[in-house]
Structure 1
Amino acid sequence: MTSVNIDKLKDINLFVIRAFCLVYQHGNSIAVAGILDVPPSKISRSLNALRQSFSDQLFIRRQHGFEPTPLADNLYPILSRLLGESEEIAAIGHFKEMDHHNNLHIITPPQLAINLIHSVRCAAENNNDPHSIHLKLFNDSTLDELASNRADAVISFTPAEREGILSKAIATPKKVYLVAREGHPIWDNPSLEQIASYPHILYGNACYPNSQSPMKFYCKRKGIPFQLDSIASDMAAMSNSLLESDAISLLAFSSCASFFRDLKGIQAIQLSSRQFEELISFKTPKTVYLWLKHDQDGRVSTPIWLQKSLEQHILNSLGQAG
């Protein structure tokens, strides 16, 4: 039976519980740090606090992300319920304040979650329209969440095929970035032919099928066997694979490349415009869309400042800010 350190458990706060629940839901700590807009080290400290209290590892690092231990499986429904009840109490206690401080719920692919909370918060402050910002990662039920008013805006790689929702095409990638560990042989000659000779880590999730990789089409047309190392659902899993192997990856987002440059042991460079043009001649990159709600009168109900903020964030993430 797992022992519990009661004295240490007294020091567990709601942030620690929230961090645990989000890591359990999303399977990695880096994505959760982006959602909560805190350094990854703060998420690590929160998990360590719970580990010490319950004398259990709680999450085991795997190639695909964090795998919960049996104790974590048992704790999640309890702590999730506790977190929900605590937030209800907080909402009641701050009812007057919340009247003037609305909530915004934004859903995004993980590739575009970097700095999103900060971007929207700054826009809200500049427009004197304070909001509490809630960020959630894109999933199979996202369209239903927007249609049922459980989300205010969605960033996606596909248009929304439902009446009452506007799909606004914002931008298509115009750059491509090569990511690999420092000291990788690819840095001696990062040509497309050499890039095709190494195993690739693809980034696949609910709204970005890994089958759409331009490199897969490049290899097919060139008659080169495409080598798949793994499919990562988030950047934490990708970074682990990059550091532990000779696998490489191609990314379309400047923000993701910057994220990897900041990680010790990983290097990222932008390929030339000629290389990019050659790649997209085999497969056009996916367009980034902004999904917005219509009200009962058929007008977009999302605030104009939020629309512009999200559009600018997408352009910044793609390295297309003018």
Structure 2
Amino acid sequence: MPATNIDKLRDINLFVIRVFCLVFQHGNSIAVASILDVPPSKISRSLNALRQSFSDPLFIRRQHGFEPTPLSCRLYPILSRLLGESESVAAISHFQEMDQHKNLHIATPPQLAINLIQKVRHASDTHDDPHSVHLRMFNDSSLDDLAANRTDAVLSFTPAERDGVISKAIASPKKVFLVARENHPVWNNPVLEEIARHPQILYGNSCYPNSQSPMKFYCRRKGVPFKLDSIASDMGAVAHSLQESDALSVLEFDSCANFFKEFKGLKAIQLSSEQFDELVSYKTPKTIYLWLRHDSDGRVTTPFWLQQILEQHIRQALGLAS
């Protein structure tokens, strides 16, 4: 094991350890920033502090996310146990305070995670209904978690089919955006015909399953080959791939377009309504659903204010009127 700077290690706090554990689990710093509701730069500073202390890169950037080094694999079980013990101590020492605050667990695709914690927390304070907010990324177990009362609400691109769960259709995309590096040749003529000439980065958890990308249907109808560059697991991986290649991405969220605009070297624009209509003629946009649990009498158990803020958040993410 490389030499550790003990003096610097003394300055490592629990937040830094939590960042390390989450990056190890999710493989991407942008996703961790969304989960912790902090700027990506704070995640980078935390990782750099650990790298300096252990004289090791800890994570190697790959095309689809971070790959842990051998040292990280040795550290993770230790730091994970340390984090768990510290959180147990914090729970005991702050029992009375925590007892006054209920927990909210929300599952969401990464595209809808942007600013979600901040909005829910503000709504909680506004309605004098204090909660701590925990965000989980949508996965195959999200429906089971909701039905078993382990999650309070789920944002999804598909309806739920389960007794005790309702899925409210909230909104569908009404816009389409193009994202690519700033000096990409597509910006000379950003129309669908030109976009189809370049390799595409698909998002592994999007409004459209990978086999149903609107651009894929467009290419098929036009008789041109669909060029797939990669399928990314999160927005951070998309951003990195866009920065380093001639690939581009077509997406449906205002919030995501604004997210990519913050990356140096990337550019995002909204395509015309005519281009959106043409894509829709090949593949109808998916509806975004809000899954909620209800009791045996059919009454929704989720606080009404939370339903309202989640519905508003979905519409705002799509750039629609609240």
| TM-score, with structure 1 as normaliser | 0.97
C-alpha distance in 1 between matches for 2:74 and 2:145 = 27
Answer yes or no: is 1:128 the counterpart of 2:128: yes
Equivalent runs, 1:7-86 vs 2, <5 Å? 7-86=7-86
Asked if 2 retains the 8 angstrom alpha-carbon contact of 1:177 and 1:268, the reply is yes
User: Amino acid of the residue matched to residue 169 of structure 1?
Assistant: A
Shift of 1:205: 2.9
Look up the match of 1:2.
2
SS of the equivalent of 2:283 reads coil
SS of the equivalent of 1:144 reads helix
C-alpha distance in 1 between matches for 2:19 and 2:207 = 24
C-alpha distance in 2 between matches for 1:72 and 1:140 = 27
User: Amino acid of the residue matched to residue 46 of structure 2?
Assistant: S
C-alpha distance in 2 between matches for 1:75 and 1:146 = 33
Look up the match of 1:269.
269
Look up the match of 2:103.
103
Percent of pairs identical after alignment? 75
Shift of 1:140: 1.8
Shift of 1:6: 2.3
* CA root-mean-square deviation: 1.4
C-alpha distance in 2 between matches for 1:47 and 1:321 = 39
Deviation per CA, 1:210-232: give whole Å up to 9, x if none. Answer: 22210001101111100011111
C-alpha distance in 1 between matches for 2:85 and 2:290 = 32
Deviation per CA, 1:85-134: give whole Å up to 9, x if none. Answer: 22122111111111211111111100111111111111111111111111
SS of the equivalent of 1:201 reads strand
SS of the equivalent of 1:105 reads strand
Deviation per CA, 1:244-286: give whole Å up to 9, x if none. Answer: 1111110000000001112111111111111101101111111
Answer yes or no: is 1:282 the counterpart of 2:285: no
C-alpha distance in 1 between matches for 2:103 and 2:130 = 9
Equivalent runs, 1:84-233 vs 2, <5 Å? 84-205=84-205, 209-233=209-233
SS of the equivalent of 1:281 reads helix
C-alpha distance in 2 between matches for 1:193 and 1:39 = 37
Asked if 2 retains the 8 angstrom alpha-carbon contact of 1:174 and 1:276, the reply is yes
Of the structure 1 ranges 275-284 and 3-12, higher mean CA displacement relative to structure 2 is found in 3-12
Shift of 1:66: 0.5
User: Amino acid of the residue matched to residue 85 of structure 2?
Assistant: E
- Number of residue-to-residue matches in the alignment: 322
Q: CA 1:295 to 1:42, structure 2 compared with 1: closer, same or farther past 3 Å?
A: same
C-alpha distance in 2 between matches for 1:81 and 1:304 = 37
SS of the equivalent of 2:122 reads helix
- Consecutive unaligned residues of structure 1, counting only runs of 5 or more, are none
SS of the equivalent of 1:134 reads strand
Deviation per CA, 1:123-160: give whole Å up to 9, x if none. Answer: 11111111111111111221122122211111111111
SS of the equivalent of 1:104 reads strand
Asked if 2 retains the 8 angstrom alpha-carbon contact of 1:63 and 1:241, the reply is yes
Asked if 2 retains the 8 angstrom alpha-carbon contact of 1:138 and 1:206, the reply is no
Deviation per CA, 1:179-219: give whole Å up to 9, x if none. Answer: 11112111111111111111111111388632221000110
- Consecutive unaligned residues of structure 2, counting only runs of 5 or more, are none
SS of the equivalent of 1:259 reads helix
Asked if 1 retains the 8 angstrom alpha-carbon contact of 2:177 and 2:257, the reply is yes
C-alpha distance in 1 between matches for 2:22 and 2:108 = 15
SS of the equivalent of 2:180 reads strand
C-alpha distance in 2 between matches for 1:319 and 1:205 = 19
